[in-house]
Structure 1
Amino acid sequence: MKFQRSILMVIGLMISMPILTLHSVNAQDSVEVETADSIRTTPQVNRAPYVFIDCSFCDFNHIRNEIPFVNYVRDPKQADIHVFITRTRLSRGGAEYEFSFIGLGEFNTISFDLGYTANRNDTWSETRDALNQILESAFMPYISQTVLATVTNVEMDLDDFELEESAAVDDPWNYWVFEAYVGSVNLGLESKKKDFNSRWGIYADRVTEEWKLRFRPYFNYSYVEIEREGEESVESTVERHGLESYAIKSINDHWSVGLFANYETRNDRNIKNRVQVNPGVEFSLLPYEVATRKAINFRYQLGYTYADYFKETIFGVTQENLLSHQLRASVDIEQPWGSVSGGAEA
C-alpha cells in the first residue's frame, strides 16, 4: 500500500513539531475511549480528540480496534475532528478514496484532504488496512496539539512509507465503467393467475475532469394472465424500454455545457416512440474539487421532443413535435453540521 509523496507533504507541513507513530506504549491504557453519548467538559488539549467518521462503507469496529488512541462519537456535534470518506469506482478496477479532515473548535486551523487509490487486485482486507493507516497518520497533527503528545511517544517517520512519484496509469478501458443490473425478476404461478415481472439494464459511464458521459439502456416487462370461470382469460402486458444518455463537457471550474438525449417506448402510456434532445448549460457555484461534499448547481436546458403514439390521443393526434425549456437549481451539501439536499425547477 502506498502514499504518494504529495499526500505526505501535506501532513508534514501542517505540524510544527516532529510527528511520530505510536510506539509500544499502549494508548488505550492511558486514554479512556469514551462513548458517543459522552459530554465534552474537558478542554480539547487535555484529552484525546473526539472523532466522527462520515462514511457509508467503512468497517467502524475495525477502525476502533486498530486506532484506539482517539474517542469515537456518533453525534457529529460532539466531534473535534469530522472525517468525510468517499469512494469512486475505477474503470480499470479498484477504487479511489478521498479523505477530508475538518478540525473543529480549538482544532479549526487543521483541515486538509488526502487521497488513496486501491488496485483491482487488492483484497478488501488490504484496502481496509491501508485506509486505517491513512486515518492513523492523519490524526497525528491533532494528537500533537494535545496532552497525549507528551504522555505517548508520538512519532512518524516518512521513510517508513514507500514513496513513488505520481505517474499516468495505463487504463485499457479509457475510464469507461460498465455495470449490468437486474432490478427484479418475479414469477408467480397460482391456480387462476400467472404473472411475470422483470427489470434490467446496463450502465456505461465515463467520468474525467473534462467529460462526463453516460449511456443507460433499460428494459421493463410485465405480464399478467387471470383465468375466469366460464369466460375468456384476461391478459395484460406492459412494456417500458428506453435509453438515457448525456455528454457533459467541463469548460472550467464553474461552467459546463451538455447534451441530454433520451428515448422511451411504453404501451401503458400509449407512447410508441418518444425522443427527447436537450442541450443545456450548467453553472456550479462551487469549484469541481469540492463537488464530492458540496455542490450548488444551476442548469438551463432547451428541449425538443418528438413523439408518436399507438393510438390517436384525446387531442386527435398520432404524432407531435414539442419545444420546451427548463431552469433547475440543486443543492447537495455534506458538512459536519449535517447535510442538505434538494432542488427546484421551473
Structure 2
Amino acid sequence: MRDRKDADVHVLVTTERNSSGGEDFLIEYIGLGRFQGQTRALRQASAGTDTSDERRRGFARTFGLGLVPFLFGSQTLERLHLAYDVPIEEQNVPPTSASAAQDPWNLWIYRAGLSVNLEGERANTGSGVRGNFSANRTTDVWKLSFGGNGDYNQDTFTLSDGRTINSLSRSWIVRTLGVRSLGSNHWAAAARASIGASSFENRDLAIRSAAGIEYSFFPYSESTRRSLFAQYTLGINKLVYDQVTVFDKLQEIVYDQNFQATLALRQPWGSTRVSVEGASYLHDLALHRMEVEGRLDVRLFRGFSLNVNGNASRVRDQLYLPKGAATDEEILLRLRRLQTGYRYALSVGFNYQFGSIFNNVVNPRFDGF
C-alpha cells in the first residue's frame, strides 16, 4: 500500500549486520485500525554463508509467523496449518552430549577473497587485482577482528596524437580491533592498530595505534530502532612518505585525537542518520578536520517520500600532500590527493506513487527489456 494508514498492520523491518557476516532482522508488527494497540516483534538471523534464497525463505517464514496472532477470531484461522520440519542432522540421530555440541571454531568467523579484472578497447586498457581477508569473533562482552585488504590498478590511455599515459595506483592495509563492554549497556572501550600504504595519499608506510571510549545514550540493545553514541579516541602515527611533503617531511611521528557523535533513528515514518566528527593533530591544533553528514528518508504524505543525503567538511589536516603542483594527468586520473580546504556533497530526491492500491499481480515477462 502507498500509505501505512490504509493497512490493518504496519510491519517495520530493520536490519543489522551480525558477526557471521549475515543479517539480523527485527520484524515489528504495529497494529492499526481494528488492531490499534497490538504490537509484537520477532527476530530472524541469517548466516554469512546463506544464499540469497535461504535468507529469503527464512525471512518469509518468520514474517508469516508474526502475522498469525492477527488472524485470531477470523475465519482465515481455520485454514491455517502448523507443521514442524525436523532438521536433517536430528533425524534418526540420538541426542548429542554438551561437549560434542560445542563450537569447534570457538565463535571465530573467517573470510578471504580475491578478484582480478581485465578490460580494454582500442584507446585504453586496464587491469586490477583486489584481495581481502578477515577473522572476527563477537560475544556480548568482546568484539575482536583482524583483517586486511589490498588494491592494485593499472590503466593505459592512448591519446589522439599517439601519446600514451599510464595510470598506476596501489594501496594495502592490515588492521586489528578489540572492543570490550565495560559492564553496562552504555559504555565500551576499544583499542586498534593498523599498518598500510597508499600511493594516492603519498604514504609509503603508515603505522597507527589508537585507544578510545564510547558512551551510548540509548541501550545498545535498542540499536535496531534508535542509537545515539559519542566516541573519543587518541592515537599515535608513524608516517613514511614517498615524496617530500608540503611540510618538508619524509617521515614523522604524530599524535591525534578524534571525537564523533552519531544519531540514527528507524521509525514507522522513515529513517534518519546524522553524524558530527572532529579530529586534530595534538602537536598543532590548527591541523584539524571537521565533518558533518546526514541522511533522511521520510514519507511526508500518502505515496510521497523524500530522500536527502549530504555531507560537508572543513579540511586542514593534509600532512601527507607532496610538495609541488600536481600534473594534469594526476588531476584528471585522480592519481594523488589534491590540496583542498573543504569537501561537500548533496543529493535530494523524491518518489511519488499513486493509483490503485489493489493491484498486486506479479508478471515477470520481459522484465529485463
Instruction: Answer with 78-87 or 327-336: which moved more.
Output: 78-87
Which has more helix, going by share of residues? 1
Q: Aligned in 2, Cα 1:228/1:156: closer, same or farther, shift over 3 Å?
A: closer
What's 2:10 paired with? 81
The CA deviation string for residues 283-325 of structure 1, in whole angstroms up to 9 with x for no partner, is 1122122223322111111121110112322222221111111
What's 1:110 paired with? 38
Contact 2:11-2:27 within 8 A present in 1 as well = no
Task: Tell me the amino acid that sits aligned with residue 293 of structure 1.
Answer: R
The CA deviation string for residues 177-213 of structure 1, in whole angstroms up to 9 with x for no partner, is 233345762333646x543233332233322211222
Alignment of 1:1-346 (within 5 A): 36-37=1-2, 75-76=3-4, 78-79=6-7, 80-84=9-13, 86=15, 91=20, 97-104=25-32, 107-116=35-44, 128=56, 131-144=59-72, 149-153=73-77, 170-182=102-114, 185-188=117-120, 190=122, 193-225=124-156, 235-251=166-182, 252-346=184-278
What's 1:53 paired with? none
Structure 1 residue 225 displacement after superposition: 4.2
For the aligned residue pairs, the C-alpha RMSD in angstroms reads: 4.0
Q: Secondary structure at the match of 2:63?
A: helix
Q: Secondary structure at the match of 2:109?
A: strand
User: Normalising by structure 2, what TM-score?
Assistant: 0.59
Q: Percent identity?
A: 25
The CA deviation string for residues 218-260 of structure 1, in whole angstroms up to 9 with x for no partner, is 1111223457899996544322111233211112211100013
Q: Aligned in 2, Cα 1:160/1:213: closer, same or farther, shift over 3 Å?
A: closer
Structure 1 residue 336 displacement after superposition: 1.0
Q: Which runs of 4+ in 1 moved over 6 A?
A: 118-127, 155-162, 227-233
Equivalents in 2 of 1:121, 1:301: separation in Å? 34
Structure 1 residue 151 displacement after superposition: 4.2
Structure 1 residue 340 displacement after superposition: 0.7
Contact 2:231-2:261 within 8 A present in 1 as well = yes
Q: Aligned in 2, Cα 1:209/1:136: closer, same or farther, shift over 3 Å?
A: same
Q: Which structure has the higher relative contact order (CA within 8 Å, separation 6+)?
A: 1
Contact 1:189-1:195 within 8 A present in 2 as well = no
Equivalents in 2 of 1:76, 1:87: separation in Å? 23
User: Normalising by structure 1, what TM-score?
Assistant: 0.62
Equivalents in 1 of 2:25, 2:251: separation in Å? 49
Structure 1 residue 344 displacement after superposition: 0.7
The CA deviation string for residues 43-99 of structure 1, in whole angstroms up to 9 with x for no partner, is xxxxxxxxxxxxxxxxxxxxxxxxxxxxxxxx44544322325475664x9876543
Kindly tell me the number of residue pairs found equivalent between the two proteins: 266
Task: Tell me the amino acid that sits aligned with residue 146 of structure 2.
Answer: F
Q: Aligned in 2, Cα 1:196/1:310: closer, same or farther, shift over 3 Å?
A: same
What's 2:347 paired with? none
Structure 1 residue 130 displacement after superposition: 5.3
Q: Secondary structure at the match of 2:66?
A: helix
Task: Tell me the amino acid that sits aligned with residue 341 of structure 1.
Answer: R
Q: Secondary structure at the match of 1:340?
A: strand
Q: Aligned in 2, Cα 1:104/1:321: closer, same or farther, shift over 3 Å?
A: farther
Contact 2:154-2:169 within 8 A present in 1 as well = yes
Contact 1:88-1:97 within 8 A present in 2 as well = no
Contact 2:207-2:237 within 8 A present in 1 as well = yes
Contact 2:189-2:214 within 8 A present in 1 as well = yes
Structure 1 residue 161 displacement after superposition: 9.0
Contact 1:178-1:204 within 8 A present in 2 as well = yes
Equivalents in 1 of 2:253, 2:78: separation in Å? 70
